A and B are shown apart, each in its own frame.
Chain A
Amino acid sequence: MKRNCIVYFIIGVIAILSVIRIITINSTANEYKLRKENYASAEQIDTTDFTYIVKRFRILDASQMETEYSVSDNNIADDEIYYAIVDLEYTYTGSEAIASPDIIEMDLMSDTWSNGVNMQATSQLNKSGFSVERDKSVSSTIVFNLRKDTFSKSGWKDVCNRGYQLVIMKYPNAIIIDL
């Protein structure tokens, strides 16, 4: 009986010390925390060097994409892909004479689904590049693939109607624009 009490006491002390340690280590670790900044579509977003505004967001099927932008993908069947098109206007506010936003770092997100920029199609649609002079604005069209094999069955059925978010920066501040 006495031995059991000692064992329970030791377990209790270890548990309390563990909880204190876990709370302490988590309350002081700012680098591990994500500061999410959510913005609405068409809202101006100011970052260190650029300001961004999403002008338009559309989802096109393969035939619409080919008609409108002459972009197609021969490696995938037409009914297994949609394209998310984001028209993004950005203004350079930094100190250099000319700069480009980090387009390749942008992502499209929808709940637990996400995908990076389709750089091939995006480059094709923005032949003049992404460079912008100081205090000048440029509009670019950014393309993301919505492939059937990356969605769940129920997710794919709802692919055109679900909510999407554009992630401009991931860390330490996550800048997320609801599209």
Chain B
Amino acid sequence: MGKQLKIELQRGFKNKKFVIVLAIEFVVVLIHLFHIIFPAITTGIPFLKQYVGTKTDFIPGAMYYWIGLNNSMERTILFAILPILGAIPYGSSLFSDYSSKYQNHFMVRENRKNYFFSKLITMFINGGVIGSFPFLLSLYVNLLLLPVEQTLTVQGYFSLCNERIIFSGLFFSHPIIYCFIYILFVFIGFGFINCICYVFSYILSNAAVVMISAFVIYFSSLVIMEFIGSIPVAWQFMRFNQIKKDDVVYILLQLALMILLPVLIAIYKSGKRVDVL
């Protein structure tokens, strides 16, 4: 398993597409920096500092401008494109191996189970790393440029000033730990979303379509749910700071479904005896 997983991880991470995807995310964070943070540092924050003790309720700091919490255009773009970006380097790898018979090379040398599960684990890690990278980068940049502000619930800090939101208490007591939990959730969430490609590798017949299948599910579930109910779907709940305590069960069920289907397919494919030569 280890040897096969190492090969797959190298295929997933040591390729040009992965570097290009990280570069795109880097650009989005850079735009956020120039669009939101630099104007704040040069104009907004000095202006607010003039009114400390009179009209200013707080000085926004690293947390306020972090791309995970700041309701900016860049954040919206990021959450919209991450499922596509996550699938570009490795999302269609299983399909390509399968359709080009490349997987037969592994089948004759390695255990089938090792191959299919290595694929799945790599798909998860690849999606997770791509999903969490911009949030980690933005947090790092913000911490270098701005101090971490201390806040109270009453200071109107986004949706977090609401006890219906999960971990809102942690944000006010330990904001950095909260950010890392946020990033961990994004890693797991986008890792699972990337695994949707695993399922569609056996349903669809085009690598590009397999690659965008995770995004199609991600977006269409939002459109469908707009009509039939109020359960938050991935498009909404990936914004960790908007998850309500009452919705946690629905969210866990959706995440479980996202990973259960590819795991079942991997088990089925591992056990199926097929003549590969």
Contact = CB atoms under 8 A, between A and B. Distances in A.
| Chain B associates with chain A | yes
Interface of A: 18, 21-22, 25-26, 28-29, 31-34, 107, 109-114, 150-155, 167, 170-172, 174
Given A107-B154, A170-B155, 15 more contacts: A18-B140, A18-B143, A25-B147, A28-B147, A31-B52, A109-B154, A111-B169, A113-B162, A114-B152, A114-B154, A154-B245, A155-B163, A170-B152, A171-B57, A172-B53
Given A112-B169, A151-B164, A34 B150 contact: yes
A167 B58 CA distance: 14
Given A111-B163, A152-B246, A155-B163, A31 B49 contact: yes
B43 to A, nearest CB: 16
Given A32-B150, A152-B245, A167-B152, A114 B169 contact: no
Contacts of A32: 59, 61, 147-150
Given A32-B150, A112-B153, A114-B154, A171 B163 contact: no
Q: What's the dominant secondary structure at chain A's contact region?
A: mixed
12 contacts: A22-B144, A25-B144, A25-B146, A28-B147, A29-B147, A31-B49, A31-B59, A32-B59, A112-B163, A150-B164, A171-B57, A171-B58
B151 interface: yes
A170 B52 contact: no
Contacts of A171: 52, 56-58, 155
B152 A152 contact: no
Interface string B24-63: 0000000000000000000000000100110011110100
Contacts of B57: 170-171
Contact of A113 (B58, B163, B245): B163
Contacts of A26: 147-148
A14 B151 CA distance: 29
A153 B247 CA distance: 11
B150 to A, nearest CB: 4
Nearest to B164: A152
Contact of B162 (A28, A34, A112, A153): A112
Contacts of A29: 61, 147
B168 interface: yes
Nearest to B154: A107
A34 B244 CA distance: 27
B258 interface: no
Contacts of B145: 25
Contact of B153 (A25, A114, A155, A172): A114
Contacts of A31: 49, 52, 59
Nearest to B144: A21
A1 to B, nearest CB: 19
Contacts of A112: 153, 160-163, 165, 168-169, 172
B151 A113 contact: no
Contacts of B155: 170-171
